[in-house]
């Protein structure tokens, strides 16, 4: 036991390092690259009202010429597996060391930071899993400049930006007539809207669990409820600070965000509030399902105990009769010593008496209504 206690600080230290990647006292601006992080893939989208370019670039330096042009440049980095590439991007975009640290060291709480010539927004993006009730979650960092937007994602496999890319490519709406701040709004709106398909899956799953809890509750049902509650808590932790960060953009403003885009951000804020309401509603429903499950299990146990009590009550007088006639008193010693043992129909009469007692008790229980719920439980 003492050895386990001595090992506990080491275990807690290891958990802390796994979560935050560096120990307390580390120099500010230090970045840590996870060994399992995928290598970064860089995509460039450059556009204006008349021209559009979309390509994958091999080195960060290839985007320098686009940043100097009179157009909007979107550099999308997918993957955090190369410290060299990330530092080169930091040098090209002149990122503050603390910005690069927040971008690389995940997970980071969603927030917004204004660095005068740049605006950092860290968000949490969720994408629903196919064929299952669940979601992929990853951090997305948006660095907004005067005519560019740099986005950094954890994984290259899942994102919700394809609709925005399609709008830019097909020149739908006003996105190619706007600046980089409108592009940042469009991506934030896509991130917030990505929560709704996930919540729809949880709504359907909760409806299924409601029927399962009432009709056929099992220990697996309880496990599913716990899992949904944990995942809804993860969604709440993801959307709550994003709501505050978007509200900060609307309230405090920035020179990099125009008044027109701030109006659009209000709509984005409304969506975050709606997501928050849905998450809180589903969490309350999941908590209610937990109470319903416990009540259903308790009621089922009560019905089972009722059936067992009825059976025991019926057999108590029968056991009494059988015990009386199981006593070996000799009739030769006294005529009062079990005279029924010498009767010709003594054995059939004893059976008839016990059956009559059992039938009478069943009739009494039926008249009191104690057998109805027990029959229903047996059918289920």
Question: pLDDT tens for residues 27-86?
Answer: 665 677 777 778 889 999 998 888 889 999 888 888 888 887 788 999 999 988 888 888
The average pLDDT across 133-151 equals 88
Tokens 């289920």 map to which residue? Answer: 380
Q: What span, in angstroms and rounded, lies between the C-alpha atoms of 68 and 109? A: 32
| pTM of full prediction above 0.85 | no
**pLDDT computed for residue 16 by the predictor:** 40
Q: What span, in angstroms and rounded, lies between the C-alpha atoms of 229 and 120? A: 31
Confidence of residue 99 (pLDDT cuts 50, 70, 90): confident
pLDDT tops 80 at residue 178: yes
* 73 or 319, higher pLDDT: 73
Q: What span, in angstroms and rounded, lies between the C-alpha atoms of 67 and 92? A: 10
Q: What span, in angstroms and rounded, lies between the C-alpha atoms of 249 and 266? A: 10
Question: pLDDT tens for residues 74-84?
Answer: 999 998 888 88
pLDDT tops 90 at residue 345: no
Q: Long-range contacts for 214-217 (Cβ within 8 Å, ≥24 apart)?
A: 214/292, 214/296, 215/380, 216/380, 217/293, 217/296, 217/297, 217/300
Architecture of domain 2-294: 2-Layer Sandwich (3.30)
* 300 or 352, higher pLDDT: 352
Fold of the 297-379 domain = Methane Monooxygenase Hydroxylase; Chain G, domain 1 (1.20.58)
Region of residue 7 (phi > 0: left; psi between -120 and 50: alpha; otherwise: beta): alpha
Query: What number of other Cβ atoms are within 10 A of residue 216's Cβ?
Result: 11
Question: pLDDT tens for residues 304-313?
Answer: 788 788 788 8
DSSP line for 6-25: HHHHHHHHHHHHHHHSS-TT
Question: Residue 125 belongs to what H/E stretch?
Answer: strand 119-128
Q: What span, in angstroms and rounded, lies between the C-alpha atoms of 310 and 361? A: 9
Q: Return the domain boundaries, the chain.
A: 2-294, 297-379
Confidence of residue 10 (pLDDT cuts 50, 70, 90): very low
């Amino acid at each position: 036991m003492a050895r386990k206690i001595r090992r506990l600080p080491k275990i807690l230290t290891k958990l802390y390092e796994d979560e935050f990647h560096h120990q307390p006292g580390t120099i500010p601006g230090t970045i840590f690259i996870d060994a399992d992080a995928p290598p970064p893939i860089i995509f460039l989208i450059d556009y204006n009202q008349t021209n559009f370019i979309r390509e994958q670039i091999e080195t960060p330096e290839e985007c320098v010429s686009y940043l100097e042009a009179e157009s909007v440049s979107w550099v999308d980095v997918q993957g955090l597996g190369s410290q060299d590439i990330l530092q080169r991007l930091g040098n090209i975009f002149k990122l503050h060391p603390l910005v690069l640290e927040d971008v690389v060291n995940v997970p980071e709480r969603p927030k917004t930071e204004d660095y005068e010539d740049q605006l950092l927004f860290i968000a949490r993006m969720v994408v629903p899993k196919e064929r299952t009730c669940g979601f992929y979650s990853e951090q997305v960092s948006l660095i907004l400049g005067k005519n560019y937007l740099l986005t950094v994602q954890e994984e290259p496999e899942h994102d919700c930006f394809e609709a925005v890319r399609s709008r830019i490519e097909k020149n739908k709406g006003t996105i190619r007539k706007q600046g980089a701040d409108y592009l940042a709004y469009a991506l934030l709106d896509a991130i917030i809207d990505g929560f709704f398909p996930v919540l729809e899956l949880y709504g359907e799953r909760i409806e299924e669990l409601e029927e399962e809890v009432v009709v056929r509750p099992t220990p697996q049902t309880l496990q599913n409820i716990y899992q949904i509650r944990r995942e809804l808590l993860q969604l709440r932790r993801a959307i709550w600070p994003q709501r505050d960060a978007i509200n900060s953009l609307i309230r405090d403003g920035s020179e990099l965000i125009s008044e027109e885009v701030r109006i659009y951000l209000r709509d984005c804020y409304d969506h975050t509030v709606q997501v928050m309401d849905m998450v809180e509603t589903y969490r309350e429903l999941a908590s209610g399902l937990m109470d319903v499950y416990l009540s259903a299990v308790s009621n089922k146990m009560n019905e089972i105990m009722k059936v067992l009590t009825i059976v025991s009550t019926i057999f108590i007088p029968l056991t009494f009769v059988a015990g009386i006639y199981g006593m070996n008193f000799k009739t030769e010693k006294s005529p009062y010593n079990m005279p029924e043992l010498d009767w010709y129909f003594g054995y059939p009469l004893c059976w008839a008496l016990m059956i009559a007692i059992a039938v009478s008790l069943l009739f009494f229980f039926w008249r009191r209504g104690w057998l109805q719920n027990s029959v229903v439980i047996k059918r289920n």
